[in-house]
Amino acid sequence: MSITRRCVCPGSFDPVTNGHLDVFTRAAALYDEVTIAVGVNIAKNGMFDSSERVDMLREVTAGLPGVQVVPFEGLLVDFCRARGIPVVLKGLRAAGDFDYELAMAQMNRRLSGLETVFVPTDPEHSYLSSSLVKEVAKLGGDVAGMVPDPVLARLRSRLGSDATGSDR
Ligand code: PNS
């Protein structure tokens, strides 16, 4: 009898970047089922609402085998327990991520035994974050190549066509 290997990739994904997409692609190669859990980070100001973030994620992960996108509220450990998911998979960019991610991993394990696996981010994406992408886009910088094309289009329509892709 074969066992289905499941993991969750949680985040706020406001919006999804090419760094996230790289982590999802690698997760899909390691696990049979990858659930992208779209939550709310109460410490962050959002640009896109949950359904917009879910729509963008579904569009850009449509070709990845075994990947599904699900919004969630409440504790991640409860979401995972209800779905029989034993592992959180996250990308680690640099040392700056580590303290925050380690504390969450230890808290989740303490709460329910939920384990966390970290994958090192591709160096090509190690500086990328949703927050920086939003800041640069809002101030008129070009974020093409940092986010998938459908996300770039949404940013453009949200911020006005001058907001991304300009030479400023
Ligand atoms: O992309 P982010 O903003 O780092 O995502 C953080 C997120 C949403 C994954 C995290 O805040 C989370 O898991 N929130 C759900 C509530 C919860 O379980 N909090 C305790 C985490 S140890």
- The pLDDT tens digits of the residues spanning 31-65 come to 999 999 999 877 777 899 999 999 999 999 999 99
Mutate to test the pocket of ligand 1, among 24, 75, 121 (most ligand atoms within 8 A of CB): 75
Distance, CA 103 to ligand 1 centroid (Å)?
Answer: 11
Q: Measured from the CB, is residue 107 less than 6 Å from ligand 1?
A: yes
Write out pLDDT tens, residues 55-95.
999 999 999 999 999 999 999 999 999 999 999 999 999 88
Do the beta carbons of residue 74 and residue 162 sit within 8 Å?
no
Supply the pLDDT for residue 167. 36
Decide: pTM greater than 0.85.
yes
**Which pLDDT value is given to residue 130?**
95
Ligand 1 close to Cβ of residue 41 (< 6 A): yes
Which residues sit opposite 20 in a β-bridge? none
- In this predicted model, what pLDDT tens digit does every residue of 107-145 receive, in sequence order? 999 999 999 999 999 999 999 999 999 999 999 999 999
Mean pLDDT of the chain: 92
Ligand 1 lined by 91 (C-beta under 6 Å): no
Mean pLDDT for the stretch of residues 135-157:
95
The residues, ordered by sequence, that sit 6+ positions from 119 with a Cβ below 8 Å of its Cβ are: 23, 26, 27, 89, 90, 91, 92
In the prediction, which pLDDT does 161 show?
Answer: 58
Instruction: Provide the 3-class DSSP secondary structure of residue 116.
Output: strand
Going by C-alpha positions, the residue among 39, 25, 28 that lies closest to residue 6 is 28
